[in-house]
Structure 1
Amino acid sequence: MTSNLLAGYSLSQRRSILEDNWNHFTEYDVTPVESEVSADISLSWRRSANSVHHRVAHAPYAREERVQEAWHESPLFFAAQKEQDNMVQLTREGDLVAAISDPHGCLLWSFASRHMRDRAESVNFQAGGRWDEKSIGTNAIGLSKTLRRPVTVFSSEHYQSFLHDWVCYAAPIIHPQSGECVGILDMSTTWNRHTSLGQAAVTELARNIAGSLPAILPKEELEIYALGQMRVTFRGKSLHLSKRQMEILCLLALNPQGLNLESFHAALYGDAPISSSTLKSELSHLRHVLGGHIGSRPYRLLVPVWADFIQVWQALHQQRINEAFTLYQGPLLAQSESPELEEWRHCIEAVMGKVLDACEDPKLLLQKLCAGSAGNEMVRERLVELIST
């Protein structure tokens, strides 16, 4: 991330400048110098400061057998095989360590050169290590996951001091069909071996792996993912919707019988002073995006729909706990102020909380903990309770 800001400096000068900024930030909460530390890194440091201490010894580690199982079950396992020989060769020739994580930052596969093997193992940069920002602070895997684009994190741009001798190149592996991030590829080495070619190579490898991912069979013509990260696919193609369009789509999915204009306005805006013509305009635009498949009088969807929040609600009420834990990736449209969606969000959270409190299976909780960050604090507390009793 330093290439543009500090392009005229040597690697050792870059490291020194970044180290000064890191020390001032971590010890005295001094905002980094804009001309020396990129906005992406500054914001990541701030997020990291709210979730993890800056002087831990290594990344947290998941159980090896669970990680091996997840790797062999992952679509990345087969998609990466065509590139693994190339990655291993690059790793050996460039004194690198290569790793592939799941979409949540848990490493599923790694291979290290002699130069990096001991360094990687000592900090759990190996299968099972958790490298999301909340677990370990600013690093290339966590930042690429957050930004959904290739990143380089050089030396003291890392939040943890034990990574200041590293430079890491990462790129998300984006499914070309759904637009979903299915994992992150990372290659890392020591800071003095940094080269701009490293990022280009990792980006190209990630793109090649993505191109080998298996095709996704749609669950329905319209698929809505609104628990955690928002995503919508229509007839196999990803749609890019605004927050308001997403709210409208979710309300349509929750009301298959349809809504008249007045009811829709109340469900979406509540008492907010927003005109009915604004809602009509929003509905008209969304109808165009969906190829005309929104009916009126009442307003309703005219295509089969699958929604994760509806499925998780049904799974919870039918005591299909494993399915509910898999589906739940975070609150329903967490930023939405729609009265109806807020009510649904609170209901799902309340029932998930009760199910979690009643869960007596540490293995199930651990699997959820390994699967992602959504709800991890509650899961972790319950797991500690079970282990302590």
Structure 2
Amino acid sequence: MTVKGDLRQRRAALEDEWTRWVPELRAARRSLEDGAEVRREVTDSWVRSLHTVDPGLGSAPVTDGGQVSPRWASSPLRRPVSDLAGELNSIADDAGFIAAVTDEAGTILWTCGGRVMRRRAERVNFAPGGRWDEQAMGTNALSLALRTGRPSAIFSAEHLVAALHGWACYCAPIHDPSGRILGVLDLSTTWDRSHPLAMSTVRSLVSTIETRLRAELPRPERRGPDGSGVRLTCLGTEEAALDGLRLRLRPRQMEILTLLALEPEGYPPERLRDALYGERPVTASTFKAEVSHLRRALGGQVATRRYALTTPVSCDAAEVLRALAEGDTAGALSRYRGPLLPHSEAPGIVAWREHLEVAVREAVLTSACPEHALSYGERAPYDAEIHEHALRVLDPSDVRRAIAAGRLTMALRD
């Protein structure tokens, strides 16, 4: 059998599986049985996606405002990608592909390719401003690469949205020197042009971009206003890294680090002690010992008289607050992965946790974008007000009204 014959046979088999399973999954909201011939990571994504995405969707939704030029201009990926633009365009045009780069939330910031492929891509909004995260566009190579942090390929009816069944996509995440995902590079084409070498091409291009990033971005080990030594993840989980190496901190030290990251001006010793212990009787030596352990872990980068970090720190909770301050509700929701240090009972952490939860929820309730209410509603199944808001902002003909109505029924029942 020819290569194209093999592809046609594979596409037909996937179409059969999609037709067999997706309508049932949409109705039952359950995981697919192991006997299915589709990859498990794909079917798991189908199940997740069906909470927010209609398989009959014609094109990707547009991010808030639809204008991405300022975001691309300020993106750390712009320079290394622009340096490779000639090579990317040549590869895409010669092979019948379209190349795209997204931000960390899955919004396309830049594309290149031949005129025919660009026109075809624009029909499904595979263009700057299009949202291709899982909650917006379901199962696709970009959303899986962002979710897993690994290269991903999706062929034909592995896509949840039927309008994409004529496509094959190859994608890899782009990491900064500290390991944080900045976005993804994707090469997409029609199903009949699918080729296994496309993935190795994507990997090679991403490796080149990451090499240029290491040369151009401030390195984690550099100190000062243009460096970034600490990366703190404290929403829904508890992780910290220094110079790209994971820090093994005790819960109390994670609490101190989080509080200092959220208040860059720092704390007087007594106020920090109250934020950690409240009314609990704790000796001054115990409190100072915890701060000293953190200072040693950070290589001495904690000031002594007024406790504050003396090394730059990037923190997901601070990024959520910054996005909200800029009116970027979609950006805040993409970063808000759960409550702040969910196991902590420190009074200062509890106060910040409540502040974040209220701020994100209020931003959703004041947004006219239905994707915001649907996304937040998935995390807050018992919040009737959120589901009622989703029903208000959803178009009467939008099939996702059924999702919001079902969530509201469950919330009111409980």
Does residue 1:24 correspond to 2:20, yes or no? yes
Return closer, same or farther for 1:220/1:104 CA change in 2, 3 Å cut-off: closer
In the other structure, the counterpart of 1:124 is 125
CA displacement at 1:301 relative to structure 2: 8.1
CA distance in 1, matches of 2:133, 2:320: 28
CA displacement at 1:89 relative to structure 2: 0.8
Does residue 1:215 correspond to 2:211, yes or no? no
What is the number of equivalent residue pairs in this alignment?
A: 349
Deviations 1:124-168 (A, max 9, x none): 111111111100100011111111111111111111111111110
CA displacement at 1:251 relative to structure 2: 5.7
TM-score under structure 2 normalisation?
Answer: 0.67
CA distance in 1, matches of 2:64, 2:274: 50
CA displacement at 1:326 relative to structure 2: 10
Alignment map for 1:346-361 (pairs within 5 Å): 346-353=354-361
CA distance in 2, matches of 1:36, 1:206: 30
The one-letter code matched in structure 2 to 1:76 is L
Tell me if the contact between 1:21 and 1:32 (Cα under 8 Å) persists in the aligned partners: no
Deviations 1:44-81 (A, max 9, x none): 11111122111111111247872122222222221111
Moved more, 285-294 or 90-99: 285-294
In the other structure, the counterpart of 1:3 is none
SS at match of 1:192: helix
The one-letter code matched in structure 1 to 2:198 is G
Return closer, same or farther for 1:357/1:144 CA change in 2, 3 Å cut-off: closer
TM-score under structure 1 normalisation?
Answer: 0.71
Does residue 1:338 correspond to 2:344, yes or no? yes
Q: Unpaired runs of 5+ in structure 1?
A: 1-8, 271-281
In the other structure, the counterpart of 1:276 is none
SS at match of 2:12: helix
In the other structure, the counterpart of 1:4 is none
Structure 1 residue runs of 4+, over 6 Å off? 228-231, 262-267, 282-288, 292-295, 312-316, 323-327, 355-359, 373-378
Does residue 1:14 correspond to 2:10, yes or no? yes
Deviations 1:337-363 (A, max 9, x none): 22233442112222455577789xx9x
SS at match of 1:185: strand
CA distance in 2, matches of 1:291, 1:34: 52
Deviations 1:200-234 (A, max 9, x none): 10111112122223313656654535357877453
In the other structure, the counterpart of 1:273 is none
Q: Unpaired runs of 5+ in structure 2?
A: 26-30, 219-224, 281-289, 380-385, 394-414
Moved more, 158-167 or 342-351: 342-351
In the other structure, the counterpart of 2:325 is 321
CA displacement at 1:170 relative to structure 2: 0.5
SS at match of 1:187: strand
CA distance in 1, matches of 2:198, 2:322: 45
SS at match of 1:10: helix
Alignment map for 1:197-208 (pairs within 5 Å): 197-208=197-208
In the other structure, the counterpart of 1:82 is 83
Return closer, same or farther for 1:123/1:355 CA change in 2, 3 Å cut-off: closer
SS at match of 1:40: helix
Return closer, same or farther for 1:159/1:325 CA change in 2, 3 Å cut-off: closer
CA displacement at 1:198 relative to structure 2: 0.3
Return closer, same or farther for 1:148/1:196 CA change in 2, 3 Å cut-off: same
Tell me if the contact between 2:234 and 2:341 (Cα under 8 Å) persists in the aligned partners: no
SS at match of 2:244: strand
Deviations 1:24-52 (A, max 9, x none): 32112271545722222122111111221
CA distance in 2, matches of 1:189, 1:215: 32
- Alignment RMSD: 4.7
The one-letter code matched in structure 1 to 2:57 is V
In the other structure, the counterpart of 1:47 is 48
CA displacement at 1:23 relative to structure 2: 2.1
CA distance in 2, matches of 1:192, 1:327: 35
CA distance in 1, matches of 2:376, 2:163: 27
Return closer, same or farther for 1:128/1:27 CA change in 2, 3 Å cut-off: same
Return closer, same or farther for 1:153/1:344 CA change in 2, 3 Å cut-off: same
Return closer, same or farther for 1:191/1:258 CA change in 2, 3 Å cut-off: farther
Does residue 1:37 correspond to 2:38, yes or no? yes
Percent identity, please.
31
SS at match of 1:152: strand
The one-letter code matched in structure 2 to 1:239 is L
Moved more, 60-69 or 72-81: 60-69
Return closer, same or farther for 1:351/1:143 CA change in 2, 3 Å cut-off: closer
In the other structure, the counterpart of 2:192 is 192
CA distance in 2, matches of 1:375, 1:27: 22
Return closer, same or farther for 1:86/1:286 CA change in 2, 3 Å cut-off: same
In the other structure, the counterpart of 1:239 is 245
Tell me if the contact between 1:231 and 1:239 (Cα under 8 Å) persists in the aligned partners: no
